[in-house]
């Protein structure tokens, strides 16, 4: 009798829950149908992410296997954490990790502010036509591939390049710009700023254009100078955009700059530029291929990026910012 009563109550609970969830499901589908145009526009991007971002995640299982080409990914023998034991015992991995942190934190210091500063400078010009010309000029290098940029840099800064020829003509000695680590790393920052600052400034110019002009008019009535309006209106108003871009950039510190390094790399600066991406490339394609080992290193790199992203987001919230989701700590 008790069992029957319990079964009846359980059946009644499921029926009531189903009735409660039905309106929610119907409401969800109604909202999707109401905004079907937006969801249709999202569909190609969603399909792309599923095919090229989520499906390949199955290959991460290689990090825990001893990959055999004749057996494939699924049938290769499982080795657990053996690959990670090799990784953490490899001195070259730790050197690559340190170089990655050293170079890419330098990028955060020197490169991240560049598009912000450029956007603020362009915004200070009153002529809209001149602004458009400057935006076009500064954005154009973004559309050069790193192959072309590296060729330009080699022609300009090589031992027989334009800069060294100019130095020699003035009685100086040629400088090995691309063969001296102390000069090569700043060259990485300089070329990256030249290539991306203009394109990166677009998002900040868009944020500036969304600022209420009434704030500037009120400041003019109070006799505020242009620097005062810059530091007390413009920068505070675009600070949420700066915070979001800073958090997103923090989440890619371990993967910044591979295309640039790969094309500008030379044997003279090998030790100074052996970042994680170059290390993964070398152990995968330039030596006896060990796909399991390189996958393990890639997974470590991705985990570090995720931790940096979450850390930057948490720090932003602690400092009173909105974080990626616009939430604040109370």
Q: Domain containing 244 — which CATH number? A: 1.10.3720.10
44 and 138 inside one domain: no
78, β-bridge pairs: 65
Q: Cα(316)–Cα(249) distance, rounded to whole angstroms?
A: 13
- The reply to whether 323 falls in a domain is no
**Segment 107-121 mean pLDDT:** 93
User: Where in the sequence is the domain holding 51, given as residue range(s)?
Assistant: 2-61
177 and 241 inside one domain: yes
183 and 219 inside one domain: yes
Q: Which comes out higher in pLDDT, residue 16 or 96?
A: 96
- The reply to whether 326 falls in a domain is no
The band of 327, judged by pLDDT with boundaries at 50, 70 and 90, is: low
The band of 271, judged by pLDDT with boundaries at 50, 70 and 90, is: confident
| The last residue of a domain, from among 61, 85, 107 | 61
- The reply to whether 88 falls in a domain is yes
- Provide the domain count of the chain: 2
Q: Which comes out higher in pLDDT, residue 290 or 183?
A: 183
Predicted model pTM: 0.79
pLDDT tens for residues 98-111? Answer: 999 999 888 999 99
Please check the confidence at residue 255 and state whether its pLDDT lies above 60: yes
Residue written as token pair 């290539």: 195
- The reply to whether 22 falls in a domain is yes
The conformational region for residue 109 under phi > 0 = left, psi -120 to 50 = alpha, else beta, is alpha
- The reply to whether 170 falls in a domain is yes
pLDDT tens for residues 57-92? Answer: 888 888 898 888 888 888 888 888 898 999 999 999
DSSP helix/strand/coil, 78: strand
- The reply to whether 233 falls in a domain is yes
**Segment 216-233 mean pLDDT:** 89
- The reply to whether 111 falls in a domain is yes
- The reply to whether 328 falls in a domain is no
| The last residue of a domain, from among 61, 94, 112 | 61
The band of 7, judged by pLDDT with boundaries at 50, 70 and 90, is: low
């Amino acid at each position: 009798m008790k069992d029957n009563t319990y079964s009846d109550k359980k059946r009644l609970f499921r029926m009531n829950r189903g009735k409660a969830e039905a309106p929610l499901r119907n409401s969800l589908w109604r909202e999707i149908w109401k905004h079907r145009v937006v969801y249709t526009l999202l569909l190609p991007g969603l399909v792309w992410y599923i095919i090229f971002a989520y499906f390949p995640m199955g290959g991460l299982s290689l990090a825990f296997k001893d990959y055999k080409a004749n057996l494939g990914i699924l049938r290769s023998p499982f080795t657990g954490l053996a690959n990670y034991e090799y990784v953490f015992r490899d001195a070259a991995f730790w050197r690559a990790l340190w170089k990655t942190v050293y170079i890419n934190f330098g990028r955060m210091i020197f490169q991240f502010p560049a598009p912000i500063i450029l956007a603020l400078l362009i915004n200070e010009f009153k002529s809209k036509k001149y602004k458009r010309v400057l935006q076009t000029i500064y954005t154009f290098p973004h559309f050069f591939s790193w192959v072309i940029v590296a060729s330009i840099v080699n022609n300009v800064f090589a031992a027989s390049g334009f800069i060294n020829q100019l130095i020699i003509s003035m009685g100086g000695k040629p400088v090995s710009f691309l063969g001296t680590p102390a000069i090569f790393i700043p060259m990485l920052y300089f070329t990256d700023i030249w290539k991306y600052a203009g394109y990166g400034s677009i998002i900040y110019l868009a944020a500036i254009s969304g600022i209420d002009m009434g704030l500037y008019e009120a400041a003019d009535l109070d006799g505020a100078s242009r620097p005062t309006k810059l530091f007390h209106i413009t920068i505070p108003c675009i600070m949420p955009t700066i915070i979001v871009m800073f958090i997103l950039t923090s989440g890619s510190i371990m993967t910044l700059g591979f295309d640039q390094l790969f094309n500008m790399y030379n044997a003279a600066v090998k030790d100074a530029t052996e970042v994680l991406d170059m290390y993964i490339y070398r152990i995968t394609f330039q030596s006896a291929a060990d796909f399991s080992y390189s996958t393990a290193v890639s997974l470590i790199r991705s985990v570090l990026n995720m931790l940096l992203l979450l850390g930057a987001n948490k720090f932003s919230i602690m400092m009173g910012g909105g974080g990626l989701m616009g939430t604040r700590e109370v």
